[in-house]
Amino acid sequence: MRGVVFDGKQAQVVDDLEIRDPGPGEVLVAISAAGLCHSDLSVIDGTIPFPPPVVLGHEGAGVVEAVGSGVTHVAAGDHVALSTLANCGACADCDRGRPTMCRKAIGMPGQPFSRGGQPLFQFASNSAFAERTIVKAVQAVKIPKDIPLTSAALIGCGVLTGVGAVLNRAKVDRGETVVVIGTGGIGLNVLQGARIAGATTIVAVDANPAKEAVARQFGATHFIDASAVPDSSAAVRDILPTGADHAFECVGSVKLIRQAIDLLDRRGQAILLGVPGFKEEASFQVSSMYLDKTIMGCRYGSSRPQRDIALYAELYRQGRLLLDELVTEVYPIEDFAKAADDAHHGRVARGVLTF
């Protein structure tokens, strides 16, 4: 079968992947569509260290082909969106409703794939850039069949991360103010999360002026072209003189992390969603934090996928959550190199690969 494999030096589309049968508590899914996220590119460029060879992809949707023993919540023929959380469901963190913190779900990649007899790792317990993948039952969330799978694919990472950061981690409330730095796939979902939460002033900041229209479509009330002003922080302050209740950094730049912190009002929260280099460090003015400001990390939108994916699917059906509009371009899997180049250069909000 076809898939995208990174061998430690380059990523290429191959057609000779093999996958084992699902075991107890597992689900075999025929992938229909998979979003290309910057996290996949970060494996290729080394920003996210991951052992090769690995089948890439972690944002997908498809149709269940088979289930292992003990799986009852999905069956062959069901449409599912996939999460990356292969959480155990039994540890203290899972029991507290914090599956993103499950220690058994982090740093233990499986090897359900093989190629020429050699085992290949699974990226993010998912590997959606393959015609078929195996996930733990908890990762497969049944969705209505009337949701296009090219759109549903984006729920499992970009939407869970961006919207979840707003609703679950920051807990943005009605009438609050939000700054979103970076309006790529994650940033757009932060914008619509803030809109859904009832924020009244939502300021998007990006160095690409072409992103203004889509940022406003997703919920931005103001847009600042960082390439056209001498000081984008000052431009934000013109809109929010006392600072923001919430500032989300969605780029992965330590300079912009500092900017997010400096833009906070008293009791404000800076939420870090972008991924800088693995060993990079950021700085901030310590004295400013004594105004009850908070710097918050956020893993995967602090999500509970079985709950949140179903919620976001319903919000989509109600017209309150935008999914179709996130899909800038659809590529056949054979055009992975073009899709990656478009994503790297910011030409798309989200490119979607199809099989």
pLDDT range class, residue 24, cuts 50, 70, 90: very high
pLDDT at position 315 is 98
So what's the pLDDT on residue 347? 85
Predicted local distance difference test score (pLDDT) of residue 166: 98
Q: Please, which residues have CB within 8 angstroms of residue 244's CB and are 6 or more apart in sequence?
A: 177, 178, 179, 203, 236, 263, 264, 265, 268
Count CA atoms within 13 Å of residue 344 on its CB side.
12
Within a 10 A sphere around the Cβ of 149, how many other Cβ atoms?
A: 21
pLDDT of residue 109: 87
Confidence band for 239, pLDDT divided at 50, 70 and 90: very high
Q: Which pLDDT belongs to residue 284? A: 94
Mean predicted confidence (pLDDT) in 161-185: 97
Q: What percentage of the chain exceeds 70 in pLDDT?
A: 100
Written as six digits, the tokens of 244 are 């923001």
Q: Which residues contact 106 (CB under 8 A, 6 or more apart)?
A: none
Q: pLDDT tens digits for 205-232?
A: 999 999 999 999 999 999 999 999 999 9
Give residue-wise pLDDT tens across range 299-341: 999 999 999 999 999 999 999 999 999 999 999 999 999 999 9
Q: Which residue has the higher pLDDT, 65 or 109?
A: 65
Angle at 254 between CA 108 and CA 187, to 5 degrees: 75
Residues 6+ away with beta carbon under 8 Å from 347: 328
CB count, 10 Å around CB of 218? 26
Q: What is the mean pLDDT of residues 232-256?
A: 97
Q: Extract the tokens encoding 57.
A: 């992809």
Retrieve residue 303's tokens: 């999500």
The helix/strand/coil state of 331 is strand
Q: What are phi and psi of 308, to 5 degrees?
A: -75, -40
pTM of the model: 0.94
What is the amino acid identity at position 279? Answer: K
Which residue, among 33, 27, 22, has the nearest Cα to 57 in the 3D structure? Answer: 33
> Per residue in 32-64, pLDDT tens?
999 998 889 999 998 888 999 999 999 999 999
Question: CA 228, CA 244: separation in Å to the nearest integer?
Answer: 22
Query: What local confidence, expressed as pLDDT, does residue 28 receive?
Result: 98
Q: Tens digits of per-residue pLDDT, 108-139?
A: 789 999 999 999 999 999 999 999 999 999 99
In angstroms, the Cα distances linking 195 to 50, 200, 311, 312, 354 are: 35, 8, 16, 14, 30
Q: Give the pLDDT band (50/70/90) at residue 279.
A: confident
pLDDT of residue 291: 96
What pLDDT is recorded for position 70? 97
pLDDT at 105 over 90: no
Q: How confident is the model at residue 345 (pLDDT cuts 50, 70, 90)?
A: confident
Q: Which residues contact 319 (CB under 8 A, 6 or more apart)?
A: none
Q: Is residue 255 predicted with pLDDT exceeding 80?
A: yes
Nearest alpha carbon to residue 130 among 336, 340, 343 = 336
Per-residue pLDDT, 33: 98
* CA-based radius of gyration for the chain: 20
Percent of the chain surpassing pLDDT 90: 91
18 in Cβ contact with 114 (< 8 Å): yes
The mean of the pLDDT values for the chain is: 95
Report the sign of the C-alpha dihedral through residues 72, 76, 78, 84, in that order. Answer: positive
Confidence of residue 81 (pLDDT cuts 50, 70, 90): very high
